[in-house]
């Protein structure tokens, strides 16, 4: 049964400044949701709250499968992940960076190797698997961040500005990666971007955010 997320009447302020204002949204179909809206409208904050990195001041954030509501424990957290722009990489190989999520989950060696190789192929970095990750370009770094998320096969994948500050060629590659994941249809992908043409290229469902709430979706 697939994982669904329901956000209901969520409020969040930082230093007394309201950022999310009675924000509500449901992610219940597999495919790509794209969250657009101008800078400061609250997209990144909403993604952090959806990915359980932060808690709302008020409101409900509930993951479901069928009629079951999940407690926000490690079991649930292992099924979702958030990729931020400019991800932190470790001073080791591309392979080891991509394998990180499986290693900390105690993955078996052969299985880990197969999944990591598959993910590196998927993002077009297999030829660099033995290079030091810190030598990658910013576009390749972003692709490695996506590979690192993919190896754990998240049912819900949040991508915050996945093509911010990368060149056109890498933007096209990242968009193709997302379109290929969408074709596989195994997860829900939720992307925040302020790039409208990109949103139209990727979205099954477009959501517009303004002043801390979804005003169209
Ligand atoms: N951790 C934080 N501390 C203080 N202010 C924050 C924090 N996170 C976000 N903000 C503020 O919240 C507002 C909305 O930010 P954000 O969610 O990043 O919007 P978006 O991603 O749409 O640009 C911004 O004005 C930002 O400065
Ligand atoms: Mg943002």
4-216 falls under which CATH superfamily? P-loop containing nucleotide triphosphate hydrolases (3.40.50.300)
Q: What is the pLDDT of residue 165?
A: 83
Q: What is the pLDDT of residue 47?
A: 98
Q: What is the pLDDT of residue 114?
A: 94
Q: Is the pTM of this model over 0.75?
A: yes
- pLDDT tens per residue, the chain (217 residues)? 789 999 999 999 999 999 999 999 999 999 999 999 999 999 999 999 999 999 999 999 999 998 899 999 989 998 999 998 877 889 999 999 999 888 877 767 888 999 999 999 999 999 999 999 999 999 999 999 999 999 989 999 999 999 998 999 999 999 999 999 999 888 999 999 989 999 999 999 999 999 999 997 6
Q: What is the pLDDT of residue 107?
A: 67
DSSP conformation letters of 53-82: SS--SEEEEEEEETTEEPPSSHHHHTTEEE
Q: What is the pLDDT of residue 103?
A: 80
CB distance 19 to ligand 1 below 6 Å: yes
Ligand nearest to the CA of 21: 1
Q: How far is the CA of 39 from the centre of ligand 1 (A)?
A: 9
Ligand 1 pocket mutation, candidates 10, 13, 19, criterion most atoms within 8 A of CB: 19
Enumerate residues 6+ apart whose C-beta is below 8 A from 110.
none
Q: What is the pLDDT of residue 58?
A: 97
Among protein residues, the one with the nearest Cα to ligand 1's atom 17 is 42
What is the C-alpha to C-alpha distance for residues 13 and 114, in angstroms, rounded to an integer? 43
Ligand 1 pocket mutation, candidates 44, 192, 213, criterion most atoms within 8 A of CB: 44
Q: How far is the CA of 130 from the centre of ligand 2 (A)?
A: 32
Among protein residues, the one with the nearest Cα to ligand 1's atom 27 is 40
Q: How many CB atoms lie within 10 A of CB 60?
A: 12
Q: What is the pLDDT of residue 60?
A: 97
């Amino acid at each position: 049964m697939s994982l669904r997320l329901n956000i209901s009447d969520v409020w969040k302020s930082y230093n007394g400044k309201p950022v999310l204002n009675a924000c509500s949204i449901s992610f219940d179909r597999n495919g790509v949701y794209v969250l657009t809206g101008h800078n400061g409208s609250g997209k990144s904050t909403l993604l952090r709250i959806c990915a359980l990195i932060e808690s709302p001041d008020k409101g409900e954030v509930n993951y479901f499968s069928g009629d079951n509501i999940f407690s926000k424990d490690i079991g649930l957290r292992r099924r979702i992940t958030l990729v931020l722009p400019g991800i932190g990489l470790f001073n080791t190989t591309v392979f080891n960076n991509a394998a990180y999520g499986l290693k900390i989950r105690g993955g078996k060696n052969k299985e880990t190797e197969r999944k990591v190789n598959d993910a590196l192929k998927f993002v077009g970095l297999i030829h660099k698997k033995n290079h030091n990750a810190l030598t990658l370009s910013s576009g390749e770094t972003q692709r490695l961040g996506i590979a690192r998320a993919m190896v754990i096969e998240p049912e819900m994948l949040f991508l915050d500005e996945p093509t911010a500050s990368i060149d056109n060629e890498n933007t096209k590659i990242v968009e193709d990666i997302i379109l290929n994941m969408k074709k596989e249809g195994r997860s829900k992908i939720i992307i925040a971007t302020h790039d409208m043409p990109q949103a139209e290229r990727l979205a099954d469902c477009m959501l517009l955010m303004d002043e801390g709430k979804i005003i169209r979706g």
